[in-house]
Chain A
Amino acid sequence: MYKAASSAYDQTKRLALPPRQVEAMAFSKAAQVLGQAGESESDYRSRISALTFNQKVWTFIQSSMMEETCRLPDSLKADILRLSIFVDKQTFKAMALPKAEIQEILKALIRINEHIARGLLSRGEDREENITPPRQYPQNPRRTLS
């Protein structure tokens, strides 16, 4: 899905695309380079490059959540912020680890991006019956609220 989206972008880069679509492409491209970074032939440079690129996408999203002009519902802003913090921390972790130990982190980051990209590209066709995460998702089981 993301490969098609990125090449579509390359072909139409002179057109002004709706922000929602640009964002979907950014998440998709980040997922794509993260995937390539996880391959056996990838070198350290490409892993750092992929992680940094993904972190940049998320940083722009993160700072946008704090703009007064951001009109998203509060619950969505909160979820995005929490995800962005997770992305940051996983990125810092991955920077110190050798290739063999970052596969799980890369997979987690790719999965998140794919969900977000699909959400951005959807036109409301993802109804309750298709994906039904509980609104009250469980808290992180390893931490308790004080």
Chain B
Amino acid sequence: MSDLAITSATRTTLLELNKTRALLDISAKRLATGKIVSSALDDATVFFDAQGLTSRAAELLALKNGINENVTVIGGAIDALEAMIDQIDDIKATINAAKGGAVTGEVATTLTGTYSVTSAAAAVATEIAGAENGDSFDITYDRITTTISIDASTTFTALASTINDISGLTATVSDGNPIVITAADGQDITIANNVGDLGITDLGLSTATSGTTGVNDARSAAEVQFDLFRTQLDELASDSTVLGKNLLNTSPDTLSVSLSDLSTSTLSVAGDATNVTELSITAADSANSFSVDSGITAAVAELDAAKAVLAATVSTFSSHLDTLETRVDYNTALINTLEAGAALLTSADINEETANLLALQVRHDLGVTALGYSFTNGTALTELLRLG
């Protein structure tokens, strides 16, 4: 058992390290922008009080700071979601590695019917008054449900043989005895009626949970890691708060991003609660144990489904960022101040190549056409350089 403890601790450290890395990024955003953005706004106020500059410049700065803050919050959420996806990949590998490991100490589950069969070679439908051709019942074992049905001539022996064919189960019947079904690995055997009441009433079979599944160090360690992973996933969401906003916790915030200082145009970005419950990642407990391979397979299927949900959330937030980029429209008002404004509006969005060419053009014009002209009266920039 001490070996098991060391292995768990090592794996815990690795998982913690991965999580810490992701959180460091998010924390850095939190610390950095908290101080810098507020000081930028303070600076802006100082500038304008001191210099008596246009309120339009102050409004533009405030607007852009607001956009910067919101963009940073969205960026923080995306970072957290991508960290979650990485953690899913890690834990999948860990639990998959535990599959196939031999277990020890299992106690078989035994299911004994209450109906004692008179003649095992007799047809079920003949011997039991209530049983008919076409009746059936369901056996669920190892997460698989099999329907067992009879026709007019199916014997008890044949019925037991069909159950015996189910991988992992053995079934016996003999004259004067009930049907006995055994699961050697200790998993539950669940019985449900399907057509008629053959299973529960006629044969007296009921759900059996008396067994215990065996243990194996790697499987047990995998369960411990899985539970740790579930906790950390939730922590990634709750810790992704940036500038007081959290888009992923159980009651997430909605961002309302101002896109213009001259209108009430805003972009709304809704949060999306993200946690193991929302993602349907079930805990590895006795009902979903990794002591059997089907438990691990089921968990992996849940993890894959969760990954797809997380990827979709990342995609949604990313497209919000794209939308924001195209919808900031304070620039519309800016361009309209020029006489040629209308023509320019259609080409207001430029790419890097065009920007470089424009900059070259400006450099040329400043040297020739606009020789001696400056953009500003220099006062605000003098202050900016002094403080920056």
Residues of A within 8 A of B (CB): 9, 13, 17-20, 22-23, 25-26, 29, 43-45, 48-49, 52-53, 55-57, 59-67, 70-86, 88-89, 91-93, 95-98, 104, 108, 111-112, 115-116, 118-120, 122-128, 131-133, 135, 137-143, 145-146
Contact = CB atoms under 8 A, between A and B. Distances in A.
10 contacts: A59-B64, A62-B334, A83-B358, A88-B328, A89-B325, A89-B349, A92-B67, A96-B321, A135-B361, A140-B351
A117 B210 CA distance: 82
Identify which of B68, B78, B339 gathers the most chain A CB atoms within 10 Å of its CB: B68
A116 B349 contact: no
Identify which of B28, B72, B334, B344 gathers the most chain A CB atoms within 10 Å of its CB: B334
Where chain A touches its partner, the secondary structure class is: helix
B376 interface: yes
Contacts of A72: 370, 373, 375
B321 A82 contact: no
Contacts of B340: 74, 78
Contacts of A77: 338
A52 B54 contact: no
Interface string B358-388: 1111111111111111111110111011101
Contacts of B29: 44
Nearest to A49: B36
Contacts of A135: 361
A52 B40 contact: yes
A85 B72 contact: no
Given A23-B376, A48-B68, 15 more contacts: A26-B385, A29-B385, A44-B32, A52-B36, A52-B40, A52-B68, A60-B380, A61-B375, A72-B375, A78-B340, A78-B344, A79-B365, A96-B72, A96-B78, A111-B356
Interface stretch (B55-63, B131-139, B196-204): B55-63
B93 interface: no
A18 B373 CA distance: 10
Given A19-B378, A139-B354, A124 B368 contact: yes
A107 B364 CA distance: 21
Closest 6 CB pairs of A and B: A19-B378, A119-B366, A96-B75, A119-B363, A45-B32, A63-B57
A55 B372 CA distance: 24
A145 B344 CA distance: 10
B305 interface: no
B287 interface: no
A77 to B, nearest CB: 6
Given A59-B60, A126-B364, A137-B361, A93 B385 contact: no
Contacts of A118: 363
B358 A92 contact: no
A45 B385 contact: no
A7 B121 CA distance: 104
B348 to A, nearest CB: 6
B308 interface: no
Nearest to B333: A66
Contact of B367 (A64, A89, A126, A140): A126
A141 B40 CA distance: 36
Nearest to A21: B378
B3 interface: no
Contacts of A20: 372-374, 378
Nearest to A43: B28
Contact of B376 (A49, A64, A115, A143): A64
Nearest to B382: A22
Nearest to B24: A44
Identify which of A17, A22, A56 gathers the most chain B CB atoms within 10 Å of its CB: A56
Nearest to B368: A124
B365 A75 contact: yes
A76 B370 contact: yes
Nearest to A120: B366
Nearest to A86: B355
Contacts of A85: 331, 334, 348-350
B363 A116 contact: yes
Contacts of A141: 351, 353
B74 interface: yes
Contacts of B36: 45, 48-49, 52
Interface string B25-37: 1001101110111
